[in-house]
Amino acid sequence: MPTALITGPASGIGAAFARRLAADGFSLVLVSRDERRLSESADQLKLRYGVATEVLPADLGTEEGLARVESRVADGVDLLVNNAGFGHPGRFTEVPVQDETRMLKVHCEAVLRLTLAALPGMRERDRGAIVNVASVAAFFTHGTYSASKAWVVNFSESAANEVGNPRIKIMALCPGFVRTEFHQRASMDTTGIPDFLWLKADDVVREAMRDLALGKRVSVPDLRYKAIVALGKYVPRSVQSRVSASLGR
């Protein structure tokens, strides 16, 4: 039975990945700093899908937590989903620098280190997959969040190119606005976001898994967001910034 390790699986896109992979017959290793919710999620998945679930409480924003997960990944996983992440409600100039560097540790350093930890075993088995959850924000300019997600996209494409093995797939997943707890946890105002821009987490994961099977290195779920990203390439950065600011962080 293949094993998938998912960071941030207690809600939103991470939880949708956990449901989908459990339904596909994967054993799960679930990583989150919220041990109570993690255990509840593991119990529900085990009861519903009958799969083995391993709980790994860890805070990827700390060296101790990241090292613990890094060690588990190095023990061997068939699919790694780097999904953990968060946002800040204010402009980056208004956010304490320690909070910004914590974001970079979770969004960038953790993705780098866990990817590197997973690759030796995947090379040895000559198969495996890594999904690094980024965001449509990666293609636009709006603070440290979008900058960190742009790094995830570039890194994922670069890593896939350097590995150079079609049986080891590395993909950046770039969803738009998704109905999750993400914005509420970050105290973000979402009232300016039109209803038609919201996606469902299960739909995002379904399209992501399809794109992964097709060998895509960047997945942008939903035609609406594919069009937004395509059009964004022709829009001046100054205009992009004004539009994203009007939609909220």
List the one residue out of 198, 147, 215, 227 whose CA is nearest residue 12. Answer: 198
Predicted TM-score (pTM) of the model is 0.89
pLDDT tier at 238, thresholds 50, 70, 90: low
- The H-assigned helical ranges of 75-200 are 97-104, 110-125, 143-163, 182-185
Question: Which active-site residues does the annotation give?
Answer: 145, 149
Q: Report how far residue 106's alpha carbon sits from residue 101's, in angstroms, rounded to the nearest whole number.
A: 9
Query: Could you give the domains of the chain?
Result: 3-247 (3.40.50.720)
For 115-172, how does the pLDDT look when each residue is reduced to its tens digit (9 = 90+)?
999 999 999 999 999 999 999 999 988 789 999 999 999 999 999 999 999 999 999 9
Who's near 190: CB < 8 A, 6+ residues apart?
177, 183, 248
For 174-221, how does the pLDDT look when each residue is reduced to its tens digit (9 = 90+)?
999 887 655 455 445 556 666 768 799 999 999 999 999 999 999 999
Residue 74: DSSP 8-state? H
DSSP codes, 136-148: GGGGS--HHHHHH
The answer to whether 187 and 90 have CB atoms below 8 angstroms apart is: no
Q: Report how far residue 65's alpha carbon sits from residue 176's, in angstroms, rounded to the nearest whole number.
A: 28
